[in-house]
Amino acid sequence: MSESPRVGIVMGSTSDLDTMRAAATMLQELGVAFELKVVSAHRTPDLMFRYASEAAGRGLAVIIAGAGGAAHLPGMIATKTNLPVIGVPVQSKALNGLDSLLSIAQMPAGVPVAAMAIGGAANAALFAARILALQDAALAQRLAERVAKITAEVEAIEL
Ligand SMILES: Nc1c(C(=O)O)ncn1[C@@H]1O[C@H](COP(=O)(O)O)[C@@H](O)[C@H]1O
């Protein structure tokens, strides 16, 4: 996208991409400019620190962070920026993502992260869009139209 990104989508590993792609697809559908990067609190702590510290200054408004297992990435990003951070627990092999979910949800008081469901990348994008829509009437309209379309589709079901 040529427009400067408003949402940063980051993930701990390229192995998270299958899950996190849903966030990118949703933001694309909604016409929200985003960027997609691999950043890890464990493997690239200096990059993580820099990414989070510089995010607001670069014009990002929301960060979506996906990680699996000991999913410290969303919480650690939230320590270095005051932007809203939305965490996506990526399903892990050993514990099916329960480890990821609890690592993201159980933040200490004072450092908030909005925890989505396991694999909830699309909802993370919708949540980010709702935050942006507070100051973007056209986006609010697109979100409302999306909801109206889904409602009409469900109401039209005849069994
Ligand atoms: N949880 C984290 C962090 C982090 O929290 O900083 N960095 C990588 N990872 C996770 O390790 C899992 C396995 O990664 P590999 O597939 O690369 O071994 C991934 O789900 C990733 O999010």
- Decide: residue 72, CB within 10 A, 0-12 exposed, 13-18 middle, 19+ buried: middle
Angle between helices 121-133 and 137-155 (to 10 degrees): 130
Using only C-alpha atoms, what is the Rg of the chain?
Answer: 16
What is residue 114's three-state secondary structure?
Answer: strand
- Res. 105 pLDDT band, cuts 50 70 90: very high
First to last CA, the chain: 42
CA of 32 to the centre of ligand 1 (A): 26
Ligand 1 neighbourhood includes 45 CB (under 6 angstroms)? no
Helices of type H across 8-136: 17-30, 45-55, 73-79, 98-105, 121-133
Could you list the residues known to form a binding site for substrate, using ranges.
Answer: 13, 16, 43
Dmax (CA) of the chain:
55
Confidence (pLDDT) at 2: 66
Confidence (pLDDT) at 18: 98
Contact (CB, 8 A) for 123 and 115: no
User: Going by CA atoms, what residue is nearest to atom 9 of ligand 1?
Assistant: 12
Interface TM-score (ipTM) > 0.95: yes
CA of 139 to the centre of ligand 1 (A): 32
Entry pTM: 0.97
Confidence (pLDDT) at 1: 47
Confidence (pLDDT) at 8: 99
User: Going by CA atoms, what residue is nearest to atom 17 of ligand 1?
Assistant: 13
d(CA 130, CA 88): 16
Tokens for 135?
């100051």
Residue 141 has pLDDT above 80, yes or no: yes
Confidence (pLDDT) at 78: 98
Confidence (pLDDT) at 80: 98
